[in-house]
Amino acid sequence: MSNDRDTTTGEEKPITPRDRNISFERETNFAVPYSRENINRCRCPQCPVQADSKCVKDKLDNLKKEMDILPADEVPEPDDVPGAYCSTGRAVCKDLNPGRQCICNTCDVWKEYLLENGKPSQYFCQNGPAT
């Protein structure tokens, strides 16, 4: 084996998992891991569906504080995160307006995990997690 190969896998370069924070994610059976990286990239907090939700605003304020104090290898409880619905499922907040335009297709998480091919493909906050 050449010196350029990873001795544990025989690969020329070490294999990078799709989710670079794979060790920090919570166990799910869904297409999108519930990880700190995906929470940070999530577009749900900017979604018009959530724009007028007092529940979402309160959760978002609390989330910012919690993320500052949580150790880097931990993620908040899914019910405390106003987003990442493609991973966690329907929103806990009941004052969302699904009559407004969904922006899932503008999200890097949606693009990376090819969620246009999943079910549901949008409105995860109402329709549940991507599978």
Mean pLDDT, the chain cut into blocks of 10 residues (131 residues total): 46 43 42 93 96 96 93 93 95 96 96 91 94 87
Reported pTM: 0.73
Domain boundaries, the chain: 22-127
Q: What value, to the nearest 5°, has the Cα angle with vertex 18 and ends 68 and 62?
A: 20
d(CA 83, CA 41): 10
Give ∠ CA 73-103-77 in degrees, rounded to 5.
25
